[in-house]
Amino acid sequence: MSFFVIPAVDLKDGKCVRLVQGNPRHQTVELDNPVSVARGWQEMGARRLHLIDLDGALGGEQRNEKIVREIVSALDIPVQFGGGIRSFKDACNLLDLGIEKIILGTVAMESPELLKGLVEKYGRDRLIVALDSKGGRVVTKGWVEETGVRAADAAKRFEELASEYLFTNVDVEGMTEGIDLDIVKEVVDSTKSGVIASGGITSIDDIQAVKDAGASAVVIGTALYKGKIDFKEALKLEEP
């Protein structure tokens, strides 16, 4: 089974930032040139980039489209993108732009028929369903609205509609204090689709543990930007 280490570039107000627990008032990283940051990860050996429009995730509409286009044009590696994709048209525009995979969270929970339409047009391999979790239950609309649905149960629901899930444990996101491995295992064990683990990954040991738990990839942000994880060392754990 393949396993990838994916660096994250989160966009807010035209900059690359990192948030703690998804709180827009608590930024720990702010870099002025996201295109340069993205290109840097590719040059260091990344095989895929995780790109999120936080303005879109929090506000419901994408506000960094120009930068997204520039990043996609600048890179030779696949880009997975999410944040503010709320309609079929939004999704089609991004996939036609050259985004390899789109990440759908809120709209997946609220409009599964939209996912079915995208599968018919593009195939399930280009869709990732985001399972953002607080206390083990899925949250939507920029991590602020609770659904009451357990992440593992949601994973079973979308089995036929997504090639991968992006499971983010919001409780530990951006805190660089380590992962909650039990909940990662619960989601991995609930589905045959790949599970990309995100949130709290702070060390090489965390990456190894998530890999051993059966995840198909990890997304790392804050720990890379703060120098807690050496990216080239992390890449040694990949299984292409």
Span 49-99, pLDDT tens digits: 999 998 887 776 777 899 999 999 999 999 999 998 989 999 999 999 999
Distance of CA 137 to the CA centre of its chain: 17
- CATH code of 164's domain: 3.20.20.70
Instruction: Give the Å distances, CA to CA, from 63 to 53, 58, 68, 172, 230.
Output: 7, 11, 10, 26, 31
List strand residue ranges (DSSP E) for 100-240, in order: 101-104, 127-134, 137-140, 145-150, 164-169, 194-198, 217-220
Catalytic residues: 10, 132
| pLDDT the model gives residue 111 | 92
Report yes or no on 225 lying in a domain. yes
Report yes or no on 184 lying in a domain. yes
Range of the domain at 78: 4-235
| pLDDT the model gives residue 190 | 96
Report yes or no on 168 lying in a domain. yes
Report yes or no on 142 lying in a domain. yes
Span 92-147, pLDDT tens digits: 999 999 999 999 988 888 899 999 999 999 999 999 999 988 888 888 876 667 88
What is the number of structural domains in the chain?
Answer: 1
Instruction: Please state whether 139 falls in left (phi above 0), alpha (psi between -120 and 50) or beta.
Output: beta
Report yes or no on 240 lying in a domain. no
| pLDDT the model gives residue 69 | 96
Report yes or no on 129 lying in a domain. yes
Report yes or no on 204 lying in a domain. yes
Span 143-161, pLDDT tens digits: 667 888 899 999 999 988 9
Contact 8, 81 (CB under 8 A): no
Report yes or no on 228 lying in a domain. yes
pLDDT band at 172 (very low <50, low <70, confident <90, very high): low
| pLDDT the model gives residue 20 | 63
Contact 237, 3 (CB under 8 A): yes
| pLDDT the model gives residue 120 | 97
